[in-house]
Amino acid sequence: MTRISWFRGAEIHKSAYLDEAVFAIEQATVFVQSWLYLCHGSQIPTAGDYFTTELASQPLVAIRQKSGEIKVLYNRCPHKGVKVLAETCGNSGRFLRCPYHAWTFKPSGELLGIPVKTEYDPDVLSGCEASAGMKVVENVVCYRDFIFVRLSDHGLPFERFFGDSLSTLDNMIDRSPQGTLRVVGAPLRHRHHCNWKMVMDNQTDTCHPMVAHESSAGEAINLWAQAHPQRVQPMAVELFSPFMSSLTFFAEMGLRVWPNGHGHTGVSHSIHKDYSAIPGYWESMVESYGEERAQQILNDTRHNTVYFPNLMVKGPIQTLRVIRPVSASETVVESWILELIGAPQKMLERTVQYNNLINSPCSMVAHDDVEMYERATIGLKSQASEWVNIARLYEPGERWDRTSQMSGTSEAEMRNFYAMWQRMMEAGNEKS
């Protein structure tokens, strides 16, 4: 691997999307040195509850301890390497038991028992790495119930890595009158035949909805225009329609970039701003926060917040998407929903509807995007050009080490993302 300048200001080299060697470096650098979202505390509320996943190609398990603390372990038996927990979630009971030879471990990962332990010389065993039990992930932060890990000793500390971008998570949490969220159900999982970064790029691409989604959102508007004037507008029409907003609308809503590749669209307003009021919600917010603070929380209608490298949060509609790279040309998108504890049930109903209508594998809207990713994957393999263009509202000498705001139709957020990506990739490539 000799190419290290995949990103040259306003263009990305196509190998960043197609090449398995680039993918391998990404996993070993970008993904292990970044803070990655693992799960939400509400998924594992009681002692012994666990959630398993894979991050940066590492099998992991987050498990609630008796003390209430959450530990993250590598889901790998120290004996012969078997993945100890096969289910996505469950409760370990008092201990974890490997299904191969029944070695057991405390929920903290510590080795508890080995069948017929007398057949091991105690000195030999204590000198073996296996005697330490299941390996613990050291860098874990639980930020207001959102659990993040960093799998390398190298990398920025949590607060520096995210900086002010945590304000999006804060706002989503504050939208609960009790300041508490709960993950509801399993995520919708959708496999795409494309590179994971195409999905990330799309989250802040405000110039595509009115074009790519015309056939779905545009049709919803057309159908509704023909409906009887007395009919009550279905929630689906309310959720579909804003996708057809004009370029001027998206430009004026603005976007903000933060250092280290994070950013969000929708600074002054967004497509989530004008949903109809849900009876009782405003009152419960005022009761909890007072009128001024409640207004401040609900006025912050950010559109999509991208957390580098692979998390997207929509605070006003309480959805969260984890973009999971599988290979250079295979990605699984998980769309999770959260309930605002203390808010009327109708809020959750709207969130469920949004996720089903917009993010689901059965959604009409999501397929518009997926088709574009897959067609881009085909097009990029051609000899026609080596580069992908992200020059919209590019300004030579752009700097990404500070927070800044610009027009919502700028591709600055993608450039901010790739500036961070390139920095981490270069550091990794020099070592390889």
Distance CA 379, CA 368 (A): 17
Binding residue for ligand FES (CB under 6 A) from 3, 8, 94, 101? 101
Q: Which stretch binds ligand FES (CB under 6 A): 73-81, 260-268, 284-292, 418-426?
A: 73-81
The reply to whether 144 sits near ligand FES by the rule CB under 6 A is no
- How far is it, in rounded angstroms, from Cα 236 to Cα 393? 33
Q: In the bound complex, what is the minimum distance in angstroms from residue 105's beta carbon to ligand FES?
A: 10
Angle at CA of residue 6, ends 14 and 19, nearest 5°? 45
Which contacts (CB < 8 Å, 24+ apart) does range 111-118 have?
111/78
98 binds ligand FES (CB under 6 A): yes
Q: Does residue number 74 form part of the binding site for ligand FES (CB under 6 A)?
A: no
Indicate which single residue of 10, 61, 77, 338 sits in contact with ligand FES (rule: CB under 6 A).
77
79 binds ligand FES (CB under 6 A): yes
136 part of the interface to ligand FES, by CB under 6 A: no
Tokens of 90: 């469950």
Strand, helix or coil for residue 103:
coil
Q: Is 201 in the site for Fe ion (CB under 5 A)?
A: no
By CB under 6 A, which span of 78-86, 166-174, 324-332, 336-344 interacts with ligand FES?
78-86
Residue located via tokens 């250079």 = 328
The answer to whether residues 41 and 145 touch, using CB atoms and an 8 Å cutoff, is: yes
Q: Is 375 in the site for ligand FES (CB under 6 A)?
A: no
Least gap, CB of 111 to ligand FES (angstroms): 10
Q: Give min distance, CB of 354 to ligand FES, in A.
A: 43
Stretch that binds Fe ion, among 19-27, 163-171, 191-199, 367-375 (CB under 5 A): 367-375
Strand partners, 189: 334
Q: Is 103 in the site for ligand FES (CB under 6 A)?
A: yes
From ligand FES, Fe ion, none, interface partner of 100 (C-beta below 5 to 8 A by class): ligand FES
Residue 103 C-beta: closest distance to ligand FES, Å: 4
**Nearer to ligand FES (CB atom), residue 80 or residue 117:** 80
Binding window for Fe ion (CB under 5 A); candidates: 223-231, 289-297, 364-372, 390-398: 364-372
Cα–Cα dist 38/36, whole Å: 6
Q: What proportions of the chain, in percent to the nearest 5, are helix, strand and coil?
A: 40, 20, 40
Residue 369 binding result from ligand FES, Fe ion, none, given CB thresholds of 5 to 8 Å by partner type: Fe ion
300 binds Fe ion (CB under 5 A): no
The residue from 145, 300, 339, 369 that contacts Fe ion (CB under 5 A) is 369
Say if residues 330 and 193 touch (Cβ distance below 8 Å).
yes
Q: Which is nearer to Fe ion, 72 or 253 (CB)?
A: 253
State the DSSP code for 263.
E
- Diameter over CA atoms, the chain: 83
Indicate if the alpha-carbon torsion angle 165, 262, 44, 360 is positive or negative.
Answer: positive
Closer Cβ to ligand FES, 76 or 192, answer by number: 76
Please report whether residue 83 would count as binding ligand FES according to CB under 6 A.
no
Three-state secondary structure readout of 267-322: CCCCCCCCCCCCCCHHHHHHHHHCHHHHHHHHHCCCCCEEECCCEEEEHHHCEEEE
Query: Smallest gap, in angstroms, from Cβ of residue 79 to ligand FES?
Result: 3
Report the residue number, 43 or 359, with the smaller CB distance to Fe ion: 359
In sequence order, the β-bridge partners of residue 40 are: 146
Cβ proximity of 302 and 316 under 8 Å:
yes
- CB-wise, 339 or 369, nearer to Fe ion? 369
Is the bond leading into 187 cis (omega within 30 degrees of zero)?
no
Q: Does 100 participate in binding ligand FES (rule CB under 6 A)?
A: yes
Q: Does 105 bind ligand FES (CB under 6 A)?
A: no
The encoded tokens of residue 343 equal 């808010």
| Minimum distance, C-beta of residue 241 to ligand FES, in the bound complex (Å) | 54
**Segment contacting ligand FES (CB under 6 A): 47-55, 95-103, 258-266, 295-303?**
95-103
Closest by CA to 49, choosing from 83, 109, 93, is: 93
Residues in contact with ligand FES by the rule CB under 6 A: 77, 79-80, 82, 98, 100-101, 103
